[in-house]
Amino acid sequence: MTRYISFIFASFLLSFSALANSIHLQGKFEQGSLIKGNVPPQSQVLLNGKPVQVAKSGDFVFGFEREAKPEHELKVIYPNGLTEIKPLKVTAKKYKIDRVNGISKKIMKPDPKALARAKKDGKQVRAARNTESQQTAIFTDFIWPVTGRISGVYGSQRVYNGKPGRPHYGVDVARNTGTPIVSPADGVITLAVPDMFYSGGTVIIDHGFGVSSSMLHLSKLYVKQGQKVKQGEPIAEIGATGRVTGPHLDWRLNWFQMRLDPTSIVPDMKSVMKKK
């Protein structure tokens, strides 16, 4: 009997130690970051008590928003019913104040028709970002949609013509109008509108598991809604459409409605430009 108990105890210890290394996480643990994870297939994952979708392979993703608190908890329920809780610590980021001047009156004080348009745009964008597909492109490595000087960063507090606005959620790459941009990973186009009120020519690409890329201020779109795209495939041209003062690409990364920092999933721009 004692032997039997010690056998059970030993196998319990074995399975426990095997499990202790079963949660793999990859990413920067700071505000605005996208984190990729892997657990044994068929495990359940909960972030702060809310279920996170897990792929058949055991891969999953989640994000820490701009104002994410320092303490988070990842709970994994393994297929054998055992549970592991992993506390996560998130570093706070300092956001700078960004003053943007020279925005036109038409954009600063939109007339009722324009406001109605902006509202309709917002609805369309939210619907596209709610896409919940099983595409696994999100678990691959991303590339920059275009290279160039970074003229705006994620999270900065925007002041438009002296009036405080919402924070800037994308990364801006300044290049001339007409410069082609490519899809940063495989995906499906969930939105392609040439003239949204604030974001101008706009494309949203679904990469799976709630993660999407938004490309703003485009001058020309090469893609249509529903179209599949491959990583590196040209999808549009840079422009200066919507609320802008000059031509640039504004690339945004979303986990459902949560806005994340696209630079958290691509190599540093300087290192990419050096290689060219």
Among residues 243, 250, 247, 248, which one has the least CA distance to residue 104?
243
Nearer to Zn ion, 170 or 247 (CB): 170
**CB 175 to Zn ion: min, Å:** 13
Strand order in the sheet with 59-63: 24-26, 34-38, 59-63
Q: Which residue, 55 or 240, is less far from Zn ion as judged by CB?
A: 240
Range 111-143 burial, b when 16+ CB lie within 10 A, else e: eeeeeebbeebeeebeebbebebebebbbeebb
Tell me whether residue 45 or residue 244 sits nearer to Zn ion (CB atom): 244
Token look-up 């790459």 returns 173
User: Which of residues 58 and 167 has its CB atom nearest to Zn ion in the complex?
Assistant: 167
Report, in Å, the least distance between residue 171 CB and Zn ion.
8
Which amino acid is located at 143 in the chain?
Answer: I
Closest distance to Zn ion from the beta carbon of 264 (Å): 17
The residue nearest Zn ion at its CB is: 250
Residues that bind Zn ion (CB under 5 A): 152, 170, 172, 250
Minimum separation from the CB atom of position 121 to Zn ion (A): 16
Q: Give the CA angle between residues 105, 204, 241 to the nearest 5°.
A: 25
